[in-house]
Structure 1
Amino acid sequence: MGLPNEDGCPPPYPGRHEHLITSNEPPHADEEGFFRDQSWKRVPVWRSSMQRSELCKRMPPEILADIFSWTLPPMNELRGDVSDLETSPWVLTQVCSRWRDISLSTPSLWCNIAAVYGGKRGEFPDPRPEMVQTQVERSGAQNLMIQFHASESHDPAEQVALFQVLASHSARWEQISIQVAAALVPHLAQLRGRVPAIQRIWLQWDTKDSEIGADSIDCFEIAPSLLDMGTFIESQYIPIVFPADQLTAY
């Protein structure tokens, strides 16, 4: 129902009123006075709304940063679309300049990184290396929580290149869930002795073919902070060396 007029009666164009305020259609000449009056009556409401907006703008950046942290998707829900501009934290940088400044100055918002090559080619968006690199840079010196899931059905060179980007920051890895494809196996060795902060590891293989050529995995043998280790191997036995005596969960 339309807004009432000055004497409390319904407006002369109830259905048309709703139509006009939700479209770009101009009012007829005999309707202009009515809509002008109604617009003036809405001014106090608009001013009140603007005042509330101003209060939000004065909210301390520390509180906004804490609120932003609750918009991040859980690690177990991250997929290849984590670099989608419509997901948090990326979307926070597009709302206004203040939100962008706060988001970019809060490294903890950028620590959850997913590079997931999942399903058949084209089923999910592939990770975008330039955005993964940007996210690593924005995380500053914070420790990183990473999902890297390789796939036999995707370009091996592209996956190895992106893994190398993440491996260059392995000293900051705190958690990693890694799914191994055959092309990735030779590149795991570079992690040996370079994961001092890692606390939790999950390691699995994409397919049975991924296990071919992997005699053993010892890249996590030197991991002084490791507490939780999980693995899944579908077919053949592959020795995985890690500091079992310090684990609290396996």
Structure 2
Amino acid sequence: MEVLDAFPIAGTRHYTLLNTNEPPADPERIFIDSVISKTEARLVWLDDEIPKLREKLKQLEYERASLPRYVTCNKAALAPLRRMPPEVLGEIFSWTLPTIANVLNAGKFDMAQSPWLLTQISSRWRAVSLSIPSLWSRVVIQYPRLKYTAPGRIHYSHALAETQISRAQTLKIHFYCCEQTDPRPQIHMFYLLSQHSSRWEELSLALTPKMLPLLTTLRNQLPSLRRLWMEWDGGEDEIPVESLGSFHLAPSLVEFGLSNETCVLPITFPIHQLTRLQFDGPWERHRGILKLAPNLVEAHIEVFHEETWPEIGEIIDLPYLRGLYVSDHQVLDYLRAPALVGIGLVGWEDGASDVLESFAPFLDRSACILRRLTLVGFPDTHTTTRILAKLPSVTEFAVAIDDSDASERVNLLMSTLTISQASGVSEVAPQLRCLLFGCQSDSSIDYNIFLKMLESRWRAEHCPLKAAALLMEDPVQGLLTCDGFRALRREGMDLSVMVEREVSTEIKGWAYATRWN
């Protein structure tokens, strides 16, 4: 239909009649009647066309909204991820596995976490994830105290446990019991896991008196077990068995750890074949074990408080030991370790300079060349600098604190390790190539002092510093956005700054403690 011009040109007779009160002549009336007729017909046509156009617009808007998604789907079909080999995709999947801490926090088999989530994305991802047994090998179960847990939150499905076990090849079991929680589901779940003990490669256990008798069923059923960690918080009167010999004949066991703060758990294990040991107990128990463990490569020795130390007698030789941590420096009086390259010592809250009375003879006796020194707890600056002065071969120095009261001491130690602008030369441990500082729990340090220490050494002439790390569990405002750290990285320093709850695992490794659990 012809489009009407609803705006007459100014100066025409039609324009004048529409904008004044002049009466039209008869010929003009005929013209205006024809305009009215055409306009009304146009209105009827528009009333008919507008709904059609609205429907058309709706169709166009729907098409406009759907086409981007269609383009995205087609682009996805060309994505390199679809052409990625299954073995590469599987390697990526392995990096998505949550930490043990995250799994424990879930309190169940969480379908929103890997590896369970990987089976829900696509058929290909499901096939790849199910074809990799290592994604399913770690089974983590914890029964915390009910008063700390929301009702109904803790529920570990037997069906899901069986599903995960069926998808795995070897198993890494982390099973943490609780005496204050109903023992029946704990016993039933452990019994299910024990039916597959021949496939256990790692076992981390927090025990209760009711669970101890179940361990007797594992005798001669652990051919693949390589790592064992046990926790026991009960007393001697709560131990319902005379001896735990279930692990004595484990032919593959090479790493053993035991945490028991109040008594000696009567457990036997193949000491002669161990390469890693972490143990809590009286020195005489340690002494008996170390005499039978010549193959140790790393040892973390926590000694119960000793009123008196026995006669030294025969020195214990540990010919292959490379990493050693002792909670009491007097342990060194009984040892010789010629291959030792790293040692960890407890810091000295009271400035116990007598540590040198044990440390210096141990070094002379061992004739080892130390490369790494780790201090845990309260490092006294005076004693620390004296020890570093006697260890010119040490190139890595680590400090780990877990108490807020130690922060001031660590800040002082860092200030002492800082090179003054006036001298330009380090008077304390100038040979250090790596500096590691870690804070756990509610501890912290002044990261500005840490940064100043690094800058002074990094920019000093002939200073060998190459790497550093600052690990803190609790975030400190401004730490991760510090321009000074970015500048050191740009200049080439291998610098790691981490602020997260999982840093404690890394810090434990500085003192040769177990990290896999």
With the length of structure 1 as denominator, give the TM-score of the two structures. 0.76
Greater percentage in strand: 2
**8 A Cα contact 1:201 1:228, kept in partner:** yes
* 2:265 equivalent to 1:238: yes
String of CA shifts for 1:85-133, please: whole Å, max 9, x gaps: 1111111111222222222222221101012112325345232222111
| Corresponding residue number in structure 2 for 1:229 | 256
Structure 2 CA distance for aligned equivalents of residues 157 and 201 of structure 1: 24
String of CA shifts for 1:193-215, please: whole Å, max 9, x gaps: 11111111110125449943243
**8 A Cα contact 1:116 1:126, kept in partner:** no
Percent identity over the alignment is: 35
Structure 1 CA distance for aligned equivalents of residues 65 and 160 of structure 2: 48
Rate the CA distance shift 1:116–1:101 in 2: closer, same or farther, 3 A: same
* 2:88 equivalent to 1:50: no
| Corresponding residue number in structure 2 for 1:132 | 161
Structure 2 CA distance for aligned equivalents of residues 135 and 118 of structure 1: 22
Query: Structure 2 counterpart of 1:158, which letter?
Result: P
**8 A Cα contact 1:117 1:126, kept in partner:** no
**8 A Cα contact 2:232 2:265, kept in partner:** no
| Corresponding residue number in structure 1 for 2:87 | 62
| Corresponding residue number in structure 1 for 2:399 | none
Structure 2 CA distance for aligned equivalents of residues 209 and 155 of structure 1: 22
Query: Structure 2 counterpart of 1:126, which letter?
Result: H
**8 A Cα contact 1:152 1:207, kept in partner:** no
Rate the CA distance shift 1:100–1:87 in 2: closer, same or farther, 3 A: same
* 2:209 equivalent to 1:182: yes
Name which of 184, 200, 213 aligns with 1:173.
200
| Corresponding residue number in structure 2 for 1:72 | 97
**8 A Cα contact 2:170 2:200, kept in partner:** yes
Query: Structure 1 counterpart of 2:76, which letter?
Result: S
Moved over 6 A (4+): none
* 2:114 equivalent to 1:88: yes
**8 A Cα contact 1:115 1:147, kept in partner:** yes
String of CA shifts for 1:180-232, please: whole Å, max 9, x gaps: 11211111011111111111111012544994324322111011111111111
Structure 2 CA distance for aligned equivalents of residues 94 and 179 of structure 1: 33
With the length of structure 2 as denominator, give the TM-score of the two structures. 0.39
Higher relative contact order (CA 8 A, sep 6+): 1
Structure 2 CA distance for aligned equivalents of residues 147 and 222 of structure 1: 21
**8 A Cα contact 2:208 2:234, kept in partner:** yes
Tell me by how many angstroms 1:239 deviates. 2.0
**8 A Cα contact 2:223 2:252, kept in partner:** yes
What 5-or-longer segments of structure 1 have no aligned partner? 1-28
Query: Structure 1 counterpart of 2:158, which letter?
Result: P
* Secondary structure at the counterpart of residue 133 of structure 1: helix
Q: Which has the larger radius of gyration?
A: 2
| Corresponding residue number in structure 2 for 1:114 | 140
Rate the CA distance shift 1:34–1:133 in 2: closer, same or farther, 3 A: closer
**8 A Cα contact 2:233 2:261, kept in partner:** no
Tell me by how many angstroms 1:37 deviates. 6.4
Name which of 149, 174, 182 aligns with 1:147.
174
Structure 2 CA distance for aligned equivalents of residues 246 and 75 of structure 1: 28
**8 A Cα contact 1:75 1:112, kept in partner:** no
Rate the CA distance shift 1:237–1:192 in 2: closer, same or farther, 3 A: same
Query: Structure 2 counterpart of 1:57, which letter?
Result: R
What 5-or-longer segments of structure 2 have no aligned partner? 1-52, 278-517
